[in-house]
Amino acid sequence: MQKNFKSYILRGLGIFAAVVVLLSTQACGQAPSPAQEPVGKTQPPKPGKTVFLDSDGNEISNNEFVDIRMANFHAKDATKMALLEDGTVEFRLQAVPQEGTLAPPLALTTIDGRTFSADDLKGKVLVLNFWFIGCPGCLEEMPKLNAAMQKFGANWNVLFIALTFDPIPKLKRFLAREKFDYLMVAGAESTLNRFHFTGYPKNIVIGKDGKIVYWRSTISAWEKFDSVIQAEIDKN
């Protein structure tokens, strides 16, 4: 009887030990190491620097990005964004459709009686500003437009001309209290309409070959504005 009791005890301990080993083996197989990554999955790159590109893929400043994007601010925005493998966020802009096209021929008369025929303007760099007296954005940029004219205006190859639909008497009253150094053309609605633009102000540079090389609304990147004018002056 005592021998049988001992055999039952030993058999029970053996079963208990086997169960413990089995459970411990299953637990180890189900709990992955904290350092393990899920097989076949990669982590997306973390956003890094932001890069702005023009339509040709040239890197540009944030200010120039804003200027190009708002050049035709009533048009649908076609900016493309991409996240590169290294985490760089890339913005690529659409081309400004007016740039590279021939400007309409101009014949202008300023408020002080100076006349410019199409032949007079041929071969000149024309820096144009379209504005009107009640336009806050137009008034805000006038000091910097004046500064650009002071910088380049002595060169006989470049003309700075502002066109408005405001009549001559109203424009003269405005200029008696405000400084705007461009050559002034008043009552120019028919000429303005030939450019088929929307929204004021509009800043345009026409090269010596008669093509539009710069088409913007308000300007943030003034260094770009200056560099375009200088580049066109330097052309033969």
- CATH code, domain with 152: 3.40.30.10
CB 232 within 8 A of CB 205: yes
- 80-115 tens-digit pLDDT: 999 998 889 999 999 999 999 999 999 999 999 999
Q: What is the pLDDT of residue 73?
A: 86
On whether both 120 and 191 belong to a single domain, the answer is yes
Residue 99 lies in a domain: no
Judgement on whether residues 83 and 118 belong to the same structural domain of the protein: no
**Of 222, 221, 220, 202, which is closest to residue 212 (Cα–Cα)?**
202
Do 151 and 76 belong to one domain? no
Exposed/middle/buried for residue 213 (C-beta within 10 Å: 0-12, 13-18, 19+): buried
- What per-residue confidence (pLDDT) applies to 153? 85
Q: How confident is the model at residue 3 (pLDDT cuts 50, 70, 90)?
A: very low
In sign, the C-alpha dihedral spanning 79, 139, 203, 234 is negative
Instruction: Indicate whether 98 belongs to any domain.
Output: no
Using pLDDT thresholds of 50, 70 and 90, give the confidence band for residue 11. Answer: very low
**How far is it, in rounded angstroms, from Cα 115 to Cα 146?**
22
* Structural domain containing residue 193: 108-234
> Does residue 57 share a domain with residue 148?
no
Best CA proximity match to 184, nearest among 113, 103, 121, 123: 113
Same domain, 74 and 120: no
Boundary-marking domain end, from 42, 58, 92: 92
Q: Say if residue 64 is in the same domain as residue 168.
A: no
Give the model's pLDDT for residue 74.
Answer: 86
The two tokens of residue 201 are 């102000």
Q: Which two tokens stand for residue 178?
A: 């405000």
pTM of the model: 0.78
The number of domains in the chain is: 2
> 230 and 120, same structural domain?
yes
